[in-house]
A and B are shown apart, each in its own frame.
Chain A
């Protein structure tokens, strides 16, 4: 049966069809939907792990027990999982193990643009790279076959454009796999003490040689010989762009991009005069192909940054600019993403900004609070970094930093990699304040559960992590819980925590606005009384999408008397957007904002 699948849906389907029974992941765009989709198939087990390292270690365990297992993560997640990754490459997998890395060229929703193809070479793990959904479904199966035949973990690398594009694929029935699980002791293979690791190190090189030979005749690599003057070597999504821009060229489309098939590449090169290597981001293929002694054209004409499209490939090769400039795009107002109306983070960051502290931030929706008008967050590096950075900054500043350093971190992010940082703050007698923005979900990636929500990936009840008790066990003596919609109290508690000696933890607990609307708990919308509003713009400082500014000059016929000489307009609330969180009502000094009367 034909189906229109996203790359992520196709990976999930392919895994199901080839008998994968175990999957673990931490949510991260663009990878999140893979395990959500996979978990809905019958007879499989899938779970959210607290972070990518745990996800991979769980998958390694499952594979050692004989299962077909996969660990799924975004590109930066592989950094977190890198420790077990490099050594499971030595031990091999017994069952089968595939690591899915979803990279994000153009950084659509990421903090960096790292090219995870480098991990394949670095960790000596073979990597397959599909170009569309049908290939994604096929390649995940091939990845498991290779894992089993070569006793190696295998990478499947996707990119945002593969993961989030939909294309036509054909659904197949799942194969019937016999249960291969069981306890098999093999200490010299799985205990990586130096003596044993040295033995496996040799096996690793020998395996890489066999994989290279295999790749020479791997049926998924494809030679499309047409033009003898121009040819392209490429892989993954870039193939589609190049194929569309230059359909008459010859192509070598690689499916397994490490270890590379040198003979196949040399054969192709021998038949075509000029060869371009078309790849997004790093010179991964180009460097290796040049090292084979083959003369190719690469990044001297193609960009290093951002994802490609057919136009970029065409322009790079022909050198012709094609854009018609009809509109001055830089003069158009931008539409940056914004915190939702009734977002629990808004009040917290409004209060933080007023404290004039340095706020080390983290990865989540709340990172958006760095923008105008909130400007309540000063750094964002990686998951968990806020806590370590706040500690280090506070230590470096000493007395100068007293009451001036705050770290903020989401609930899911805290569980991901904040706990050890907080422990460190207690152990090393830090003076910074940490705020957990506890919105009861993993919001940015689309409302995934985590160990703090008390529900599993399947929505089953689970024991919920108790942040207060955890903090107490770590040794944090000063723990306060605040309602972020109570502005006055948020300010007071933050101030007290900053004044305290030693580490303090403030848990800002308010459910994500999207969770609220799902549970239909949103309050009735508020409205601005135009006869009371003095146009002071305090409420606009919240950056709420529901609040806008109306200039008098744009309201001809409006009969609004000016309350001050300088008043230029009034604030207005869009009732279709407002969830009635009341922050603006709390800020309004003239009581112009209240519930839902219709003002004329």
Chain B
């Protein structure tokens, strides 16, 4: 894919949506599948409700943990508006997956400015491969809204040539028994969405 051998995935959203966890799981899956992997996010002040983004890059040999603008293969947006903030990182033929959930930033919650409308329109005008999923709703259906990140991983897995067994093995290692079953359900809901 991009740069000959390195593929770039960018996960974006809001602090508390489980993006760091999802990008960790994805990185383990890629390592297990035999790739060189680098992933990067910024900790610290972003934990307090700010934007969160995590780059995951894989291939035979990866140098930079950060993608350059216009070079990301798959943009996974956990929050609708955040899609717009990172859209220019995506390459023209890239894939956008959007979780159909709005999390209001403070200025919107306070009524000072509106939440942007017609996000789908803007994205679909610029990119052909756009998938909008109700990951949070599916997570609620699977038993816990906090599993929206697992649903999103399921969706992502359907765009990647990594064997489903590798995903399941890593999910198996990641979640305690109590949570494994419903996360597996959430993952497969996303995968077949």
Q: Do A and B bind each other?
A: yes
- Let me know if B49 is at the binding interface, CB within 8 A: yes
Name B90-147 residues within 8 Å CB distance of A.
Answer: 92, 104-111, 113, 115-116, 122, 126
Nearest neighbor of B4 in chain A, beta-carbon distance: A247
Bound-state Cα–Cα, A537 to B51, Å? 26
A569–B110 Cα distance when bound, in Å, is 11
A243–B40 touching, CB < 8 Å: no
B31 and A337 contacting across the interface, CB-CB below 8 Å: no
Cα distance A408–B110 in the bound complex, in angstroms:
27
B47-A337 in contact (CB<8A)? yes
Which of A325-333, A433-441, A498-506 touches B?
Answer: A325-333
Contact with A along B46-57 (1 / 0, CB 8 A): 111111000000
Complex formed: what's the CA distance from A85 to B127 in Å?
A: 54
Identify which of residues 411-456 in chain A touch chain B, using a CB-to-CB cut-off of 8 Å: 444-446
In the bound complex, residues from chain A placing their C-beta under 8 Å from that of B36 are: 167-168
B79-87, B151-159, B177-185: which lies at the interface: B79-87
In the complex, whether A166 has a CB less than 8 A from a CB of chain B is yes
Q: Which of B24, B39, B109, B122 contacts A326 (CB 8 A)?
A: B122
A509 within 8 A of B: no
Give every chain A residue within 8 A of B47 (Cβ-Cβ). 337, 446
Whether A334 lies near B107 (C-beta < 8 A) is yes
B106 touches A545 (CB 8 A): yes
B68 at the interface (CB under 8 A from A): yes
Contact yes or no, B81 A332, CB < 8 A: yes
Query: Are B37 and A30 closer than 8 Å at their CB atoms?
Result: no
Choose among B50, B64, B92, B111 the residue that contacts A309 (Cβ–Cβ < 8 A): B64
B3 interfacial by beta-carbon distance below 8 Å = yes
Please encode chain A, from 151 to 173, with 1 for each CB lying within 8 Å of some chain B CB and 0 for all others. 00000000011001111100000
Q: Are A167 and B65 in contact (CB under 8 A)?
A: yes
**In the docked arrangement, what's the CA distance between A324 and B51, Å?**
21
Residues of A within 8 A of B84 (CB): 327, 329, 332
> Which of A2, A160, A244, A245 makes the CB contact (< 8 A) with B42?
A160
A431 to B92, CA, bound (A): 63
Which among B41, B63, B111 is the interface contact of A240 at CB below 8 angstroms? B63
Contacts of A310 in B (CB 8 A): 63-64, 66-68, 71
Whole-angstrom CA separation of A445 from B43 in the bound complex: 9
Assess whether A338 is interfacial by the CB under 8 Å rule.
yes
CA distance A466 to B122 in the complex (A): 57
Report Cα–Cα, A51/B1, bound state, in Å.
47
Instruction: Please indicate the chain A residues that have their CB under 8 angstroms from the CB of B45 in the complex.
Output: 29, 108-109, 337, 444
B86 CB to closest chain A CB, in angstroms? 9
Known A332-B116, A333-B108, A333-B113: A165·B39 in contact at CB below 8 Å: yes
- Find out whether the CB atom of A241 lies under 8 angstroms from the CB atom of B126: no
**B44 near A: Cβ within 8 Å?**
yes
Is residue B69 within 8 Å, beta carbon to beta carbon, of the partner chain? Answer: yes
A373 touches B3 (CB 8 A): no
Tell me the complex Cα distance, A496–B110, Å. Answer: 33
Contact in complex: A335, B51 (CB < 8 Å): yes
- Tell me the total A-B contact number using a CB cutoff of 8 A: 165
Q: Which of B40, B48, B126 contacts A161 (CB 8 A)?
A: B40
- Chain A: which residue is nearest B48 at the CB level? A337
- Given contacts A4-B28, A109-B44, A365-B48, whether A314 and B68 have CB atoms under 8 Å apart is yes
Residues on B with beta carbons closer than 8 Å to the beta carbon of A324: 70, 88, 92
Q: Is A335 a contact partner of B49 (Cβ separation < 8 A)?
A: yes
Range for the number of chain B residues in contact with chain A: 35 or more
Asked whether any CB of chain A lies closer than 8 Å to the CB of B188, the reply is no
Whether A179 is near chain B, meaning CB under 8 Å from some CB there, is: no
C-alpha spacing A445/B27, complex, angstroms: 24
Nearest A residue to B3 by beta-carbon distance? A244
The listed residue (B63, B81, B108) touching A244 by CB distance below 8 A is B63
- CB of A164 within 8 A of CB of B40, answer yes
Residues of B within 8 A of A547 (CB): 109
Residues from chain A with Cβ under 8 Å of B6 in the complex? 244
Q: How far is the CA of A335 from the CA of B104 in the complex (A)?
A: 9
**Pair B64/A241 contact, Cβ less than 8 Å:** yes
Tell me whether A336 and B66 are in contact in the complex, defined as CB-CB below 8 angstroms, given that A168-B37, A326-B88, A549-B111 are known contacts. no
Task: Name the B residues within 8 Å of A279 (CB-CB).
Answer: none
A339 at the interface (CB under 8 A from B): yes
List the B side residues contacting A333 at CB < 8 Å.
81, 105, 107-108, 113, 115-116
Which residues from A are CB-within-8-Å of B116?
331-333
* Chain A residues with CB under 8 A of B39: 4, 165-167
Decide if A322 touches B69 in the complex (CB within 8 Å). yes
Residues B88 and A335 in contact, CB atoms below 8 Å apart: no
1/0 per residue B1-25: CB within 8 Å of A? Answer: 0010010000000110000000010
CB distance from A487 to the nearest CB of B (A): 20
- Does the CB pair A166–B64 fall under 8 Å? no
A132 interface residue (CB < 8 Å to B): yes
- Asked whether, in the complex, the Cβ of A29 is within 8 Å of the Cβ of B87, the reply is no
Query: In whole angstroms, what is the CA distance A337 to B51 when docked?
Result: 8
Chain A residues closer than 8 Å to B31, beta-carbon distance? 2, 4, 168
**Residue pair A161, B65 in contact (C-beta under 8 Å):** yes
The residues of B that contact A373 with a CB separation of less than 8 Å are 110
Residues of A within 8 A of B43 (CB): 29-30, 109, 164, 446
Chain B residue contacts of A4, Cβ below 8 A: 27-28, 31, 37, 39
Q: Does A548 have its Cβ within 8 Å of any Cβ on chain B?
A: yes
1/0 per residue A310-326: CB within 8 Å of B?
Answer: 11101000000011111
Give the residue of A311, A329, A340, A551 whose beta carbon is less than 8 angstroms from that of B71.
Answer: A311
| The residue from B49, B81, B108 contacting A337, defined by CB atoms under 8 A apart | B49
Q: Within 8 Å of chain B (Cβ to Cβ): is A66?
A: no
Task: Report Cα–Cα, A2/B50, bound state, in Å.
Answer: 33
B170, chain A: closest CB distance, angstroms: 11
- Does B50 lie within 8 Å of A549, measured CB to CB? no
Contact of B106 among A312, A326, A338 (CB under 8 A): A338
Given contacts A337-B45, A445-B44, list 17 more A-B pairs with CB under 8 A: A4-B27, A29-B43, A29-B44, A165-B39, A166-B39, A167-B36, A244-B63, A311-B70, A327-B84, A332-B85, A333-B108, A335-B106, A337-B46, A337-B48, A340-B49, A368-B48, A543-B106
6 smallest beta-carbon distances between A and B, as pairs:
A311-B68, A109-B44, A549-B111, A337-B48, A548-B109, A165-B65
Jot down 11 A-B pairs with beta carbons below 8 A, ordered by A. Answer: A109-B44, A165-B38, A167-B38, A240-B64, A241-B66, A244-B64, A311-B71, A323-B88, A325-B88, A332-B116, A333-B115
Interface residues of A (CB under 8 A from B): 2, 4, 29-30, 108-109, 132, 160-161, 164-168, 239-241, 243-245, 309-312, 314, 322-327, 329, 331-340, 365, 368, 373, 444-446, 537, 540, 543, 545, 547-549, 551, 569
